[in-house]
Structure 1
Amino acid sequence: MTSADTALAAQPPLTSTSFAAHFDLAKGQQPENLTLLPGGAAAVTFAFPRQVAVIERTGTVRVLAMLPAPSSDARTPVLGSPFLGGIVQGHDHTLYFLYATGTGTDDLTDVWRLRLGGSPEHIAALPADTLPNGLALDGSTGQLYAADSVLGRIWRIPATGGTPEVWATVSALAPAGFLGVNGVKVHDGAVWVSNLDHGTLMRIPVLRDGTPGAARTAATGLTGVDDFASTGRGDQLLAALNADSEVALVSGNGGHTVVLNHTDGLQNPTSIAVRGDTVYVADAAYVTQQDPNLLTTRLHCPSSR
């Protein structure tokens, strides 16, 4: 047992759990993804009502934008319905997010942008047979990375807009019956991704010329892993395990420990964000159909490598 493991056994790494907001299930307010805003607010995507919303520090939910509905003949891959996925924030507080509508007479499967006080605008078109899910922004290069859960690839798109390119496509990103590569983050010179079907986290280095290096499996056994976030302590991560309503702390050596579960209020967590020692968990209740919410807790665990 490492010193970090001993410390985890002696003291729970997440404590003081509370609810920042409870959402209205009847209105379809099921948060798919999460990004933190200045002043303690958060922005979320509500997947199926096609809404981007802000959660104020008071818990008030304010809808910023609704994406246009596709034509009645549109069919989103795997899910069938229009799907609003990952969301990130740029240095100027512009929000970027992913919208999938599938085949049909409309061309809405795109990367979208929402500037302060503006309206949603699409900045890059993705193929209709994709399911763009997780999204990350590399602030140092201005590149967006989008996880395609159906085709098993990672797209790279300039945040200024333009033509998407397939940045990485390896077998470990592919689905195995449902959804493959899901969450995506840029951390420590690499693009990190989860694969929901395989229960894995992978690290793909970004080489000096911007191309991907050799992918490495960083963790396994994370059943139903959705999105994840760095704790800021080396390669230590917190991962949302959707189906089992759990959050796992993943150490730098690939091991993991479940640190939150349904008894803490989790309802099929989809995404995690960390600011300082505060952890935010978005719960979509896709399966439980009980209490979609935004949960917060405090982080006080040692780094592990």
Structure 2
Amino acid sequence: MRISSRIRITATATVVAFAGAALPASAGTPGLGSPHIIRHLDLAAGQQPENLTTEPNGSLDVTMSFAHQIVRLTADRGTHVLGTLPAPPTGTDAPLTGRAFIGGIVRLPDGTLYVLYSAGTADLTGLWRLRPGDVPSRVVPLPANSVPNGLALHGGYLYATDSSLGAIWRMTPDGTAAAVWKKAPELAARTPSGFGANGLKIRDNAVWVTTMDKGTLLRVPIGRHGTPGTVHTVAAGLGAVDDFTFTGHGDDVLAADNAGNRVELIRPDGSHTAVLTAADGLQNPTSLARRGDTVYVADASYYTHTDPNLIAAPVELLEHVRVRDDAAGAGQRAAAGPGPRRS
């Protein structure tokens, strides 16, 4: 596959900024082009990234799931713990995961960070806020049996998936209002032990959600007065799909298949194909974030227990992927079973 000079410049800039090691593209597999591991993380220190967002200066803010930490990774390879959420009492059995778990993260223009915490206790579970230079504080309490997971900001509200209750919450950033915005069978897992609604993004006045247990990508329109519309299934057969991001090319989506060690390119017609695999360095991908022409993938190594990391790849090659898929007749729906629970 030929790479244009503009794409080569993008990939090289990523390597210089993070001093990552180049990885070969997967042979015979459509890819984002020149994926690079930009940071190897410390598994022994609990550095298993669950979600991430970008800073204007090129840094990445990452939630470290079971370490309950919010960490900033800088371009000069610095690692700064911005805040650590309090742990629940020893022996607390948090829903689905068995232990306390920090999930989605959102950054406001003033630098304030919001994260979701599933701790298994009523005094800790909910939406937490971290202002620059401050300590984390809970602003929205959520039920102890909830697993708040994906998070996005839209129209002055924060929307959050609930993986155990099969719902979407809507909350104000100041914590003055919080309620279940949408609850539907499509958002629920097939079994009580499975993850239902997981990743969440908002585009064109609609909430887009993945369900890990069912392997689906869903779309819920936001009505004129903020009320939810009918759930529409965009794609199915996605495996243990976790978080996702839009490519910047219409409604095309890049989604992380956690247990399957794949990043899938999903088209608006529901067809999908793998564009990154374990051969590109994936270690149970959990989330993706896009800044400009670059997509960042967080790998938690939940099941491989080998090399949690962050990968970057230039997004421009998606144009080449589309042409190649159409010519080869690839990207068809493929059946996939649910991924195993995190442990």
Q: Common fold, TM-score beyond 0.5? A: yes
Shift in Å, 1:72: 2.4
Correspondence list, 1:33-182, <5 A: 33-103=51-121, 107-138=123-154, 141-177=155-191, 178-182=194-198
User: In 2, are the aligned partners of 1:225 and 1:241 still within 8 Å (CA)?
Assistant: yes
Shift in Å, 1:12: 4.2
2:120 match: secondary structure:
coil
Show the counterpart of 1:3: none
Which residue type is aligned with residue 123 of structure 2? D
Give TM-score, length-normalised by structure 1.
0.92
Shift in Å, 1:34: 0.7
- Stretches of 4+ moved more than 4 A in 1? 10-13
1:233 match: secondary structure:
coil
Show the counterpart of 1:5: none
Note the alpha carbon deviations across 1:240-271, whole angstroms, 9 max, x for none: 00001100111121111100000000000000
2:223 match: secondary structure:
coil
Note the alpha carbon deviations across 1:171-210, whole angstroms, 9 max, x for none: 0000123111100001111000000011000000001100
CA distance in 1, matches of 2:179, 2:205: 19
2:305 is aligned with 1:283: no
User: In 1, are the aligned partners of 2:70 and 2:82 still within 8 Å (CA)?
Assistant: yes
CA distance in 2, matches of 1:11, 1:47: 30
Give TM-score, length-normalised by structure 2.
0.82
Note the alpha carbon deviations across 1:44-97, whole angstroms, 9 max, x for none: 100111100011112322111100111225321121111101101112121000
Shift in Å, 1:153: 0.3
2:194 is aligned with 1:189: no
CA distance in 2, matches of 1:181, 1:11: 29
User: In 1, are the aligned partners of 2:126 and 2:141 still within 8 Å (CA)?
Assistant: yes
CA distance in 2, matches of 1:134, 1:225: 12
2:33 match: secondary structure:
strand
Number of equivalences: 291
User: In 2, are the aligned partners of 1:13 and 1:299 still within 8 Å (CA)?
Assistant: no
1:92 match: secondary structure:
coil
2:264 is aligned with 1:248: yes
CA distance in 2, matches of 1:86, 1:30: 13
Identical-residue share of aligned pairs (%): 50
**Higher helix residue share:** 2
2:66 match: secondary structure:
coil
Shift in Å, 1:163: 3.4
Which residue type is aligned with residue 284 of structure 1? A
User: In 1, are the aligned partners of 2:30 and 2:274 still within 8 Å (CA)?
Assistant: no
Gap runs ≥5 in structure 1: 1-9
2:208 match: secondary structure:
strand
**Higher strand residue share:** 1
2:237 match: secondary structure:
coil
CA distance in 2, matches of 1:204, 1:100: 24
